Structure 1
């Protein structure tokens, strides 16, 4: 178990005053056997109305409507969590399904339907060709295949940090040979759906005590979850070749990256020049107490 403190600061600045529509905030993990939220503080400016709900996927969502006019919007989420990872090496797979086709029980398949259907086009077949190049033998166990694909993306694509913009189309990531964490996660999700796997996009944070070769620390992070018989939803981070790692701190899951944006909303008026700054800090909670 690791006890961590997470501080996520977001600041929008506008050249001219604007007013705000309701914003959707995905900043708080849902309590589970893997994560316990011990403390949570949300600080916003300008002030406004907040309402907490669970969405259709069970994500904890804050609906925040800032009041009045302002040339800035500040949102700071501070969390103290306890993370209880399940080491993948300790998990037993009683039914080692072969990589393709993977078989889901009828009851599971009915629930998993939204995560089985690809959400993007592959008009030129680039994604499918790439996928065929990395398919293993007909009897390769599913978990071995997923770990190998996770490692392949990490080893063969160039990481290029990009703070702004939507996730690239997976076919474009294949052509480019490069991307950021959300691009690699989305590539893995959409590739696996084409093989009949139920896969979903995950957004959250990355704890990197040593930094070094860890990619994506200091910002929000994204990875992939795959539903496997006997194991359930299983985490794979192709950006760092991690699987079911305690360094991954999930906040929200979604069918597509657009549905997992940490902060989304609209403004009214002509803002002129705009600027966005985001800072994320994840560290052991005890280290801050000792410093104090």
Structure 2
């Protein structure tokens, strides 16, 4: 059992004033037998009323509307939550029985949405990988861990080369990205192996110095293991999601779990600032939120520009190798 205090700040700065901003937030941590929310406070620019409801996947969702003109929007979420360790699958039932159980379960109402993989350019390569490793002879639990290890060791954790709109094809070609990209790839691989899997958004709390994904929202998957239930694995850290993972929402993909999204009137550009501070004590350092000095910096996070740079570097390496031959 561990207690965490989480402060999550999201700020949009606009190049001009906007009106009628309608927003949807999934910033309410899941409250169940493994995760107990002690307190949760949300504050929003202009103090609008935040109405909440449970969505189709039982995530707590907040909505609010800001009608008056504004050139920035700040959403601050303060959470105190207790995380309880889960018991890992015993994995004592033979593999054949478990795969047969999955066949009967995949049409259940709470599983059917998490079965079908999305097509992408790496599909054939993934299927060849699954066949070459004889994964069908192993239990689903072992398959999930093996695929998680594959993504961790074959994709490079690199900030700034992808964004929320990057496709599976782009990430697969680049073999690099951040937690969302690692999660999206593993999600499809596990589903292609015949195991239901769902996307999870949340936070990762510091466990050791080299933990990846701190300072922002995190992502991982939960796979359905027969005779056990949903089992979380974190491909970004090659770890089982347990006592230091705080869940915000689950869904078919990022689109079902995005922490903040919305629309507004007027054609403007925007900058986004996000910061997450996590502590095991109530006393946390204040997050310094920058003023609205719009710079248009989000264009600096261009996938194409970074891809072009990497390809140029690869061409230079190839040219150097040819010159040395």
TM-score by shorter chain over 0.5: yes
- Which shows bigger deviation, 154-163 or 246-255? 154-163
Q: 1:274 to 1:168 in 2, by over 3 A?
A: closer
**Superposition TM-score, scaled by structure 2 size:** 0.80
Q: 2:177 aligns with which of 176, 179, 183?
A: 179
CA distance in 2, matches of 1:5, 1:163: 30
Say yes or no: does 1:279 pair with 2:275: yes
Contact 1:9 1:278 in 2 (8 A): yes
Give the equivalent residue in structure 2 for 1:117. Answer: 116
**Alignment correspondent of 2:129:** 133
Q: Could you tell me which runs of 5 or more consecutive residues in structure 2 were left unpaired when the two chains were aligned.
A: 286-325
- Asked whether the 8 Å contact 2:147–2:189 carries over to 1, the reply is no
Out of 167, 170, 175, the position equivalent to 1:169 is 167
- DSSP-derived class of the 1:201 partner: strand
Residues 32 and 108 from structure 1, CA distance in 2 versus in 1: closer, same or farther, beyond 3 angstroms? farther
Report SS of the residue matched to 1:104: helix
Question: Residues 209 and 283 of structure 1 are in contact (CA less than 8 Å); yes or no, is this contact kept in structure 2?
Answer: no
Choose the corresponding residue for 1:95, options 89, 93, 96.
Answer: 93
Which structure has the greater CA radius of gyration?
A: 2
How many correspondences in the alignment? Answer: 282
What residue number does 1:196 align with? 194
Give me the CA root mean square deviation. 2.3
Residue 15 of structure 1: aligned partner: 15
Taking the aligned partners of 2:211 and 2:142, their CA distance within structure 1 comes to 23
Select 1:238's aligned residue among 235, 238, 244.
235
**Scaled by the length of structure 1, what TM-score is found?**
0.89
* CA–CA separation in structure 2 for the residues paired with 1:287 and 1:14: 32
Richer in strand (by share):
1
Kept in 1: contact 2:162–2:171 (CA 8 A): no
Q: What residue in structure 2 maps to residue 257 of structure 1?
A: 254
Tell me how far apart the structure 2 counterparts of residues 95 and 108 of structure 1 sit (CA, whole Å).
19
Q: Is the 8 A contact 1:156 1:177 kept in 2?
A: yes
Matched residue, 2:55: 55
| Structure 1 Cα separation of the partners of residues 100 and 152 of structure 2 | 24
Distance 1:43 1:66, change over 3 A: same
Identify which of 149, 152, 176 aligns with 2:150. Answer: 152
Contact 2:98–2:226 (Cα < 8 Å) also in 1: no
The answer to whether the 8 Å contact 1:22/1:65 transfers is yes
> In structure 2, do the counterparts of structure 1 residues 151 and 102 end up closer, same or farther at CA, with 3 Å as the change threshold?
farther
Alpha-carbon distance, 1:239 to partner: 0.4
Range with greater deviation from structure 2 (69-78 or 129-138): 129-138
